[in-house]
A and B are shown apart, each in its own frame.
Chain A
Amino acid sequence: MSGLTIENISMRFDLPNGGSVQALKDVTLELKPGELMSVLGPSGCGKTTLLNIVAGFLAPTEGRIAMNGHTVQGPDAERGMVFQQGALFEWMNVRENVAFGPRMKGEREAQYGANVDHLLDVVGLGDFKDKAIYELSGGMQQRVALARCLANDPDVILMDEPLGALDALTREKMQSLVLKLWKETGKTIILITHSVEEALLLGERLLVMAPRPGRIHKEYRLPFADLGVDQDLREVKKHPDYNKTREEILAMIWDMEEEIMGRTEESA
């Protein structure tokens, strides 16, 4: 079976003070190849934990992750990851960063060179190949991170708030770029974000998670990602359903946040 299957994942770990935390409870999901799912939720709902489990950086206490039929045991090149920031290698220039994955596989310049250059052109960094990482702006750095992930040709791309540290304008441009890359490459993408707008615009499927314990609260299927591939994102935002869904999700998360606040006040 192809695609990514998340089966009854639970995550519970002990704290140094003797207590324990239930970070995730019974999360089950299935992603078909080429789906783009955005994950939204108040802080502490375990979305980053879920992503780390899918990436293979954490082992779940219960359940299993299956990728193309085999169980995930640890990080692997088939599941690429794009981080919020700080994941680029400063001791390499832009091109060397992008070529990192193929080089680790033992490929030669002749094998990966053309693809790396092509990807750099796609993300608009064709003229910055030889620049050092610290010479680039935040948006450019994230484009390098995207290109680096794509150069490795993973089946699934996991994005942990990749645009979270960018300013609003750069962020909008990058959202278009993500959609364009998604359509062109046909990758399966899981995108974690704090921004409801971003989740709506980019997510073909949108997962709202609830905290304590982290679990799936509601799932949406949205048309906006497909619209955004050809249209300006600002046009997409004018879609009648967009604002309705946005208000609905915001209210949902707002309730969750209030519930958390209330619970902390009770315990305090």
Chain B
Amino acid sequence: MTILAIYVAIFIGGFFAVKYITASARPNDYTSLKTVTFGDESAVRPNRAASIISIVTIFLLWASFTGSNLIPSFLHAPAPFTGTGVFTYTVDVGGKTDEGTVTVNVHEADGDATVPEVAPGDGFAKNDSVSIVKYRSKLLRVDANDEVGRDDGAQIVAVNGKPIAPGGEVMTDFARVAMTPKGTLNIEPKTGWQMQPLYLPPPEKVASRLVEISSTGFRNSTLWEHLGYSLFRVIVGFLIGAAVGIPLGYAMGLSNWFRGWFDPVVEFMRPVPPLALIPLVIIWAGIGEVGKIVLLFLAALWIMAIAARSGVSGVNITKVHAAYSLGASKWQIMRHVIIPNSLPEIFTGARVAMGVCWGTVVAAELVAAEKGAGMMIMVASKFQNTDIVLMGIILIGVIGFSIDVLMRWAERLLVPWKGRS
């Protein structure tokens, strides 16, 4: 909730700040002179300042709520308490009271876990000490070392001077001290607002994991092998799918018999998510490379077939008529009219297919694989290596995005007429 509130605050604050700063430097191009921008999609252009602030905000929130040392500590969300804290407790034995202290050493999981030595002090309530790992709590029977114990009628009535009863609690400056129904104190040092590394490791930890795994590898394979295997499967599966799907789509677009024969198959297979085929493919082909490639082939096949089919059906009949009356043969119509005319559709299909394949390969590797990006994050999650999981997710996202950028670049290069006729 707090994080969301901060995020929204930065969103709104950034808007006004950028508006104020750039108010004087208004560009004078055509679009910025438009007065109607609400409803005119062409007048809406992404504000690059907003993009930058957005990314910085995500990293800042991540760093702040994980206590990252990449940012100055005043930006950190309140950290969990570590170090030594002391509180007093008051024991009542038949009207007579005495105070003892409890010294608590709250330490990092791999930090100094020694229990502080304290002098027993005077009176019948003796001083106690305890050592607790950060984010954990501990039950402490403070009367165990006292001269008069719980069995002799001793009762803890106050903590730091504030009255406490079984079931009640007292907030001290560093911890919440609660009393169980039987009278034992439960010490919970303050956890602050930061996320535990188990849930969300700080950015630098993810980065150092990236460096570590890219140099030493993970599970007997280097990082590049894991990612390379995933990419290899996607590319091979996609290429085979395209090699079969595109001719199939052309045939469906050009022949009644092919259209009638394959329409039910394609229309049935198209809405089946490739993920639903994983179990079947594993039964048929095992968890090795063949199974993965068969799965990705199936994922790409229908998309490419449908793209090629609609590329053929989308050809303006006047183009075909024009080519025939210019003396072109059937084969020349295919080569010079139908294929080039269907390329934009095929590229759109290829972009979708690559996206689906990349998602499918990761999912398939999550289920079963010896190598691959999905396998890496799956195994890491079993060992609670959240930093590796995060690193894997980020790399998967970066690769998926790069694939799309590459496809768009190729599209601009190869079919510059797309959407402009």
A and B associate in one complex: yes
Flag whether A47 is at the interface (Cβ < 8 A): no
Instruction: Give chain B nearest CB distance to A97 CB in angstroms.
Output: 10
Main secondary structure of the interface of B (DSSP, over half): helix
Which chain A residues (166-212) contact chain B, with CB distance < 8 Å? none
State whether A80 and B318 are in contact (beta carbons under 8 Å apart), knowing that A89-B336, A134-B421 are contacts in the complex: no
Q: Tell me the dominant secondary structure on chain A's binding face.
A: loop
Interchain CB contact (< 8 A) of B326 among A86, A91, A101: A101
Q: Is the CB of B325 within 8 A of A77?
A: yes
Q: Which residue of A lies closest to B324 (CB)?
A: A75
The contact size tier of chain A is: 20 to 34
Question: Could you say which of A74, A101, A133, A145 contacts B421, with CB atoms under 8 Å apart?
Answer: A133
- Whether A81 contacts B322 by the Cβ 8 Å rule is yes
Closest to B417 in A: A90
The answer to whether B327 and A104 touch across the interface, beta carbons within 8 angstroms, is yes
- Chain B, interface residues (CB within 8 Å), range: 20 to 34
Q: Does the CB pair B318–A101 fall under 8 Å?
A: no
* Residue A31 at the chain B interface, CB threshold 8 Å: no
* A143 part of interface (Cβ distance < 8 Å): no
Tell whether, in the assembled complex, residue A76 and residue B327 are in contact, meaning their CB atoms are under 8 Å apart: yes
CA–CA, A201 and B326, complex, Å: 27
User: CB distance B329 to A81 under 8 Å?
Assistant: no
In the assembled complex, A55 has its CB within 8 A of some CB on chain B = yes
Within 8 A of A (CB), among B386-421: 415-417, 420-421
CB distance from B327 to the nearest CB of A (A): 3
Mark each residue of chain A from 122 to 164: 1 if its CB lies under 8 Å from any CB of chain B, else 0. Answer: 0000000000111000000000010011001010001000000
Closest to A52 in B: B321
| Stretch from B171-179, B197-205, B306-314, B337-345 at the A interface | B337-345
CB contact list, B321-376 vs A, under 8 A = 321-329, 332, 336-337, 340-341, 343
A113 to chain B, nearest CB (A): 17
6 shortest interchain CB distances as A-B pairs: A77-B327, A90-B417, A75-B324, A134-B420, A91-B340, A101-B326
Binding site for B on A (CB under 8 A): 55-57, 74-77, 79-81, 83-91, 100-101, 104-105, 132-134, 145, 148-149, 152, 154, 158
B residues at A contact (CB < 8 Å): 316, 318-319, 321-329, 332, 336-337, 340-341, 343, 415-417, 420-421
Instruction: Enumerate 17 A-B pairs (CB-CB under 8 Å) in ascending A order.
Output: A57-B324, A74-B324, A75-B324, A75-B325, A77-B327, A80-B326, A81-B321, A81-B325, A86-B316, A86-B319, A89-B337, A91-B343, A91-B415, A91-B417, A100-B326, A104-B328, A148-B326
